[in-house]
Amino acid sequence: MNLPPNYNFSHSSQSFNQKETNDLQEETIACFHTKNMAEFHTGRLSTFVFPQSWEEICYSNTPYIYCRLYAWNNNGEIWIQKHHLECDGGDNNTYPSEIFGDSAHGVVYFYPNFSFEKIMQEARRIARENLPYFPLHLQYYDLHFEQDQQRHLKAVYTFITILGDQPTPNSSLKKELNFGRFISPENFLEFEDDFSISFTCKTYWLDLMEKNIINSTLLNKGRNKSEFEVSDSKIGLFIGRFQPFHLGHLKMIQFALTQVDFLKIGIGSSQYQDTIQNPFSYLERFQMIIESLEENGISTHQYKIYPIPDMHNADLWVKMVVKTVGKFHIFFSNSEWTRQLFQKQGYQLGILQIFEFRKFNGSIIRKRIQQKEPIDSLVPVAVVRFIKRWKKGIESPFGQII
């Protein structure tokens, strides 16, 4: 169904009133510039996402980040949320005043050190505030760009989830207000004969049905593989940028090798070098890893290293990775973005390894190098030696470091 441009697509069964507008103005929303659209697929959001108020977004037409959720219960019934449409003019009898769409949606608020994990956090908030029941598990589905009814560009992260039995706050109120309804996939198309459904959301619901995702156990399988013990599979994959290789990376590799017999290591952003964000070349990072692992008693017979360039298209990037490294059973990463990408493709996830991220962080280490501060406690001894060799007679993007 095509709506006239003067319709306002609200986020609830009630109109987008002044109180809701004020609430948005009091919060800072995660925004971006159009020139950075391709960077979303790298997952490195903190380098270009910035905060703005809703008032600033409306005034300057700034693109912002948004979440949509598609949810169903254990019986396979989908939850479709009702939205209110406001028209500032025209023939109100031509278009419906209400329309059904996704299960829940909302803007993403900005946080310092913004990351995909923050978007997941916001998706859980949106679920808590809009769904009738708490989700059992939230899984990334896709990323795309669209315009809202005011023609503001937004980056939309789509998540899918199975709903549990525990009601969310105000669940009874949602039902009283006829906030939405459960409906079986079989009745979905018949339902449209009586009620209007957003074209974009209808496309997603049909896609989920055609791929049999709603009736499959994909989400439960993903949850079991990522949150419980890994199986006795033999080959693992670990991907990082290693700018530079630090003790957090070393700990991850050491752990992975207790779970698998052979580990494939991918050096991400392999095509970049000689910049502040990516000072070391692929070969330099390769050398750092080799020397660090050898120094810690890890034989070259236990692993193999591969170049993994950025593609700025998440789905194609995963396919390229699989084609490059070949067969593997378990994917290891502490990046929730890359974990979700590989889980979406059905790969088993290794157990999350918790280490001091604020300490073992490439950005922080690069900053310490730039400011000529010691990094001995943050990187393997082999990396300290390598950087000293690297600096002898060589001018890096940092200038004189050591």
3-state SS assignment for residue 301: helix
Whole-number Cα distances in Å, 197 to 176, 178, 394: 21, 16, 62
- Poorest-pLDDT segment among 66-70, 85-89, 169-173, 359-363: 85-89
The answer to whether 236 and 256 have CB atoms below 8 angstroms apart is yes
If asked whether residues 225 and 212 sit together in one domain, one would say no
Q: Mind listing the pLDDT tens digit for each residue in 82-99?
A: 876 544 444 444 445 578
In a domain, 399, yes or no: no
If asked whether residues 143 and 199 sit together in one domain, one would say yes
Higher pLDDT, 324 or 351: 324
What's the rounded Cα separation, in Å, for the pair 116 and 27? 19
- Poorest-pLDDT segment among 97-106, 209-218, 370-379: 209-218
The pLDDT of residue 213 is: 80
Q: Mind listing the pLDDT tens digit for each residue in 201-242?
A: 888 898 888 888 876 644 554 444 443 344 455 899 999 999
If asked whether residues 199 and 246 sit together in one domain, one would say no
Q: Which of 150, 23, 165, 133 is nearest to 69 (CA)?
A: 133
Q: Give the chain's domain count.
A: 2
In a domain, 271, yes or no: yes
If asked whether residues 18 and 150 sit together in one domain, one would say yes
Q: Looking at residue 87, which CATH number applies to its domain?
A: 3.90.79.10
Compute φ and ψ for 78, nearest 5 degrees: -85, 150
The answer to whether 160 and 69 have CB atoms below 8 angstroms apart is yes
The pLDDT of residue 395 is: 42
Per-residue confidence band for 249, with pLDDT thresholds at 50, 70 and 90: very high
If asked whether residues 194 and 243 sit together in one domain, one would say no
If asked whether residues 88 and 121 sit together in one domain, one would say yes
If asked whether residues 228 and 297 sit together in one domain, one would say yes
If asked whether residues 267 and 127 sit together in one domain, one would say no
| 9 token code pair | 């697509």
If asked whether residues 68 and 178 sit together in one domain, one would say yes
In a domain, 398, yes or no: no
In a domain, 341, yes or no: yes
| 287 token code pair | 């050398």
If asked whether residues 57 and 178 sit together in one domain, one would say yes
Domain residues for the domain of 259 are: 221-391
What's the rounded Cα separation, in Å, for the pair 9 and 152? 13
Q: Which of 17, 8, 223, 11 is nearest to 129 (CA)?
A: 11
Give, rounded to a whole angstrom, the gap between the first and last alpha carbons of the chain: 63
Q: Looking at residue 366, which CATH number applies to its domain?
A: 3.40.50.620
In a domain, 71, yes or no: yes
If asked whether residues 383 and 245 sit together in one domain, one would say yes
